[in-house]
Amino acid sequence: MRHLISPLDLTEEETTRILDLADRIGTHKEAYAHLAEGKQLATLFYEPSTRTRLSFESAMLSLGGQTLGFAGAEQSSATKGETVADTVRVVSCYADIIAMRHPKEGAPLCASMYATIPVINAGDGGHYHPTQTLIDLLTIRQRKGRLDHLTVGFCGDLKFGRTVHSLVNSLVRYPGNKFYFISPEELRIPDYMIERTLKPSHSTYREVSDLEETLPKLDVLYMTRVQKERFFNEEDYIRLKDTYILNKEKLELAPSDMPVLHPLPRVDEISVDVDSDPRAAYFQQVQNGKYVRMSLILALLEITDPLTGEKVL
């Protein structure tokens, strides 16, 4: 039995197989429509979510399976003091696979230690968001044709941005990738990411504060919102939330084939006038989210791919 807690739980080869399956699902939907009949996905979301929770549910339904779960800690026995360990022990009796989002780092890892069914980390605090990472990798590969020798800019909240941390951890495994980290000082990439990920992989990176100056150098731009829910001080949030706003005028500084990614939801950091630009890739990411999660469910449930006759993991 396998779990997905960190993007590094998958080898590069396994990651490629997951992405390849997601591509096949996107072009041959009917072939995968009934593979999970009789299976149930439990979505245990202890904090709010729109895209991630609904895409997991849509993925399972599109595979012919069923879903159950809750969309907030207040709807669970956590309000009565039940531990994550006990919750997943109980849910393991009802479902075949779990997708868990939790505000505390490490909660899905704890869950995986007690569950008797596969657990997928759907985001834990400011730590990891491995399914979003797979979505980002698939979208970059579709847009650029490769995952290596890219110059990737990350802009916005790099301190609390779990999607940023997860994607950097994956991209450093591919040769030749370079990184620009664009943020105010208060939201810079954490030191532990530099010491544990960037330096050991001998990655080339720069920390900068000027988005306009950096745009012409990038192959990919990854925008993030400043996350109000991660701040203890509302004044700091208000001061920093509009530091970077990508609009059509600024986008003219970027290469014509530079995709703009964003894990969503956005607030003001990408102007709506960017949506019509062919470089806007964030709604493509949303569509890919369904296919990636379908791929992961099949892989972790060890269901054979009907088009290849093989299991993915």
pTM of the predicted protein model: 0.92
The answer, yes or no, to whether residue 279 has pLDDT greater than 50, is yes
Catalytic residue selected from 2, 51, 141, 144: 51
* 31/34 Cα distance (integer angstroms): 8
90-124 per-position pLDDT tens digit: 999 999 999 999 999 999 999 999 999 999 999 98
* 193/291 Cα distance (integer angstroms): 29
> Cα 140–156–272 angle (5° rounding)?
70
DSSP 89-119: HHHTTT-SEEEEEESSTTHHHHHHHH-SS-E
37-68 per-position pLDDT tens digit: 999 999 999 988 888 999 999 999 999 999 99
**Furthest-apart CA atoms within the chain: distance in Å:** 56
* 57/68 Cα distance (integer angstroms): 9
Tokens at residue 222, please? 């990854």
Catalytic residue selected from 101, 127, 143, 159: 101
Catalytic residue at 129? Answer: yes
175-207 per-position pLDDT tens digit: 999 999 999 888 899 999 999 999 999 999 999
* 61/228 Cα distance (integer angstroms): 32
Catalytic residue at 204? Answer: no
Catalytic residue at 80? Answer: yes
Overall average pLDDT of the 151-157 stretch:
95
Closest CA to 207 of 249, 245, 246, 164: 164
Closest CA to 206 of 225, 244, 178: 178
Tell me what percent of the residues of the chain surpass a pLDDT of 90. Answer: 80
Termini Cα distance of the chain: 10
Catalytic residue selected from 43, 52, 197, 224: 52
The answer, yes or no, to whether residue 156 has pLDDT greater than 60, is yes
Report helix, strand and coil shares of the chain as percent, to nearest 5.
45, 15, 40
The answer, yes or no, to whether residue 256 has pLDDT greater than 70, is yes
